[in-house]
Structure 1
Amino acid sequence: MMGPVLAACLLIILSTAWISQANEALCKKDGGVCSCNNNKNSVDCSSKRLTAIPSNIPADTKKLELDYNKLSSLLSKAFQSFTKLTFLSLNNNQLQTLPEDVFDQLVELDELYLQYNDLKSLPSGIFDKLTKLTDLRLSSNKLQRLPDGVFDHLTKLTILWLNNNKLQSLPNGVFHNLPLLKELYLSYNELHSLPEGVFDKLAELKTLDLQINQLKSVPEEAFDNLQNIKDLRLEENPWDCSCRDILYLRNWIREKQGNVSNIEAAECAVGNKAVLEITEKDAASDCVSPNTTTAIPIGTMTPASVIYDDIHEIKVPQENFQKFLGYQEPDHLPTQPQCLMSISGYLGLMMSLMLTSAAILYVFHFLKKA
């Protein structure tokens, strides 16, 4: 009795293995290079030195991995047939630009990874159709700026990676339409300041990474609406502890100390003093905040021509002007009239010499002819 049972079990195991192998190899027929798993609607095209997306990928694919290839560009309609795609990974390629409508057909997409590429900018509206996206990773590129409203349609986003780029500033309200965001990574950029209220709508945020930027202070009430924050990285920024602007951050750290991880690591740029330890005396300077601009009212500005004319009307005695400059006229230098007389005398002497020379030459020439 055990013989037939063992044989049946062995047959089932072999059949399962054969079916699984057949599923894995489906994309490889007709010269295809990707590995497929039909049971999971998954296609793995990673590390194949691809310069273009293969044409034989099944249209019902839900998970597509294209990591570690040589993709330097994407066609506008590269993913138009993959309307059921929920996961797309394009990490570690050579992408420098993206077409504005390249993701328009991926209305079911849940996760999009574009890490370790050479992207310097993003087209406006590139993510507008990805309304179901929950995880977007754009880290380790060369992004210098973000378009206004680039994330406005991603209302279900919970994870956003923007770290390891070259961002120097953030657009106003760039995160205002991300009410479900829980993780936001902005470390290893070149941020010099933060817009007023940039985190005000992120009530669900638990992790915020701002370490290794160029921040000297943050706007007043910058973190007040982060009701669920658990981890905030602030270290390796040149916090200016001599300015009153830093006192908001100091007070916030003191209040949240013990409830929010890593905030105690923020240190002043000078003196290696922790931000939470600074005193009002330390931050006595009334510095101009980098998050605001000071403008001169137009009504108080005086035209340059008026100022110039007024200067000409001001009469300052020469002796007072010299006294103001601390100038004393040396005895051995000639006065202004003396200088003029010396110059005129010098010019007269030169003219006399030239006329005399001319007369001598004329006489010499006349005698030679005679």
Structure 2
Amino acid sequence: MMGPVLAACLLIILSTAWISQANGATCKKDGGVCTCNDQTKNVDCSYKELTAIPSNIPTDTDRLDLKYNKLSSLPHTAFHGMKELTYLGLEGNQLQTLPTGVFDHLVNLNELRLGANQLKSLPPKIFDKLTKLTLLYLGYNELQSLPKGVFDKLTELKTLELFNNQLRRVPDGAFDYMSKLNRITLENNPWDCSCNDILYLSKWIREKEGKVNGIESATCVNKKAVLEITEEEAAEDCVYPNTTTAIPTTIITTLASSNDDDIPELPVPQENFQKFLGYQEPDHLPTQPQCLMSISGYLGLMMSLVLTSAAILYVIHFLKKA
């Protein structure tokens, strides 16, 4: 009867190896591109020219570094299940947008680095689940505005970087809930100090002067310090255009009332026509390291399947004899 027992043990060992191979394909030791440290739970995928986040990142990862790759977008579920993550580095990529809910599972995150990307806007409530966040880096992007209340849930935040963007104003109350903030960078933004929208920021800076580092560096487009702006100087009710493009209703009405023969033919560039139809370029093809990683993972799985099948047949054979 030792035969079936040994076969059963072999089956368990092979199954364990199979699961390990499937879950560990991200790391170099298993044919992946990232460096993984099992003791510290760190996964380093930086400087790999990745166009997609590697699959099978362990869910118990504490620190995930993806900086300076070629990520242009993130899947909605990119970090789902990673509740142990405390550090996420995404700086130095090519991100232009963030999908709503992409960070919602990172309830223990302390540090989020999104600097040096191409972000033009932020979805509302994008940071709402990051209630333990202490550092948020958004510098060196192309942010033109901030959603109202986008920082309201970040009550533990200590450092906020917003320098080198295209911000002209912040919503009223934008920084009111960050009671532990001790450093903020606001310089190199085209703050519009002719509009009364700037008065909240000006007043907030004056109130926090000497308490929060970096606030004095905010200057208007005319080089005057934001904190020095008065109500008389910022008297205009400015309305900033929406970032979305819409067709004026007057044009629609005119076109609807005109004969087809009266409408001139206008050349439309192919790329503009594709954008009008909602065409999007397909996701980037995987890089060579990623392909090798996938091939290695699949070969490991196939070998495990073959060995597991042999073990099962071995068990059945001895059971029939018994």
| TM-score (norm. length: structure 1) | 0.57
Where structure 2 has 5 or more consecutive residues not aligned to the other structure, the ranges are 1-25, 259-322
Moved beyond 4 Å, runs of 4+: 82-85, 289-293
- Residues 259 and 253 of structure 1, relative CA distance in 2, 3 Å threshold: same
- Residues 197 and 141 of structure 1, relative CA distance in 2, 3 Å threshold: same
Contact 1:195 1:291 in 2 (8 A): no
The one-character-per-residue Cα deviations of 1:73-117 (angstroms, maximum 9, x if unpaired) are: xxxxxx9xx987710011111101225x533xx121100000111
Contact 1:179 1:202 in 2 (8 A): yes
> In 1, distance between residues paired with 2:241 and 2:105?
30
After TM superposition, list the pairs within 5 Å mapping 1:121-200 onto structure 2: 121-200=73-152
> In 2, distance between residues paired with 1:97 and 1:136?
15
The aligned residue for residue 89 of structure 1 is 44
Matched, 1:228 2:180: yes
Contact 2:28 2:34 in 1 (8 A): no
> Amino acid of the residue matched to residue 277 of structure 1?
E
The one-character-per-residue Cα deviations of 1:267-325 (angstroms, maximum 9, x if unpaired) are: 001x21000011112111110146899x9xx9xx9x948x979xxxxxxxxxxxxxxxx
Matched, 1:211 2:186: no
Contact 1:182 1:207 in 2 (8 A): yes
Q: CA deviation at 1:147?
A: 1.0
The aligned residue for residue 296 of structure 2 is none
Q: CA deviation at 1:231?
A: 0.1
Contact 2:27 2:34 in 1 (8 A): no
> In 1, distance between residues paired with 2:213 and 2:220?
18
Q: CA deviation at 1:161?
A: 0.3
Matched, 1:264 2:239: no
Contact 2:135 2:160 in 1 (8 A): yes
Percentage identity across aligned positions? 49
Instruction: Work out which of the residue numbers 110, 119, 123 in structure 1 matches 2:62.
Output: 110
Tell me the secondary structure at the aligned position of residue 245 of structure 1. helix
Q: CA deviation at 1:136?
A: 0.6
> Amino acid of the residue matched to residue 219 of structure 2?
E
> In 2, distance between residues paired with 1:178 and 1:220?
21
Contact 2:140 2:163 in 1 (8 A): yes
The aligned residue for residue 55 of structure 1 is 30
Contact 2:62 2:84 in 1 (8 A): yes
Instruction: Work out which of the residue numbers 239, 245, 248 in structure 1 matches 2:200.
Output: 248
Q: CA deviation at 1:227?
A: 0.6
How many equivalent pairs are there?
231
After TM superposition, list the pairs within 5 Å mapping 1:25-44 onto structure 2: none
| TM-score (norm. length: structure 2) | 0.65
> Amino acid of the residue matched to residue 197 of structure 2?
D
Q: Which structure exhibits the higher relative contact order, with contacts defined as CA atoms closer than 8 Å and separated by 6 or more residues?
A: 2
> In 2, distance between residues paired with 1:308 and 1:122?
44
Q: CA deviation at 1:55?
A: 2.8
Q: CA deviation at 1:132?
A: 0.5
- Residues 277 and 290 of structure 1, relative CA distance in 2, 3 Å threshold: farther
Contact 2:209 2:215 in 1 (8 A): yes
- Residues 113 and 211 of structure 1, relative CA distance in 2, 3 Å threshold: same
Tell me the secondary structure at the aligned position of residue 148 of structure 2. coil
- Residues 291 and 283 of structure 1, relative CA distance in 2, 3 Å threshold: farther
- Residues 143 and 210 of structure 1, relative CA distance in 2, 3 Å threshold: same
Instruction: Work out which of the residue numbers 72, 79, 93 in structure 2 matches 1:120.
Output: 72
The aligned residue for residue 19 of structure 1 is none
The one-character-per-residue Cα deviations of 1:39-78 (angstroms, maximum 9, x if unpaired) are: xxxxxxxxxxxx9934379xxxxxx963xxxxxxxxxxxx
Where structure 1 has 5 or more consecutive residues not aligned to the other structure, the ranges are 1-50, 58-63, 67-78, 310-370
Contact 2:138 2:163 in 1 (8 A): yes
Contact 1:124 1:147 in 2 (8 A): yes
The one-character-per-residue Cα deviations of 1:135-176 (angstroms, maximum 9, x if unpaired) are: 111001111111110000000000000000000011110000
Contact 2:122 2:147 in 1 (8 A): yes
> Amino acid of the residue matched to residue 123 of structure 2?
P
Tell me the secondary structure at the aligned position of residue 64 of structure 2. strand
Contact 1:111 1:136 in 2 (8 A): yes
- Residues 215 and 242 of structure 1, relative CA distance in 2, 3 Å threshold: same
> In 2, distance between residues paired with 1:253 and 1:83?
45
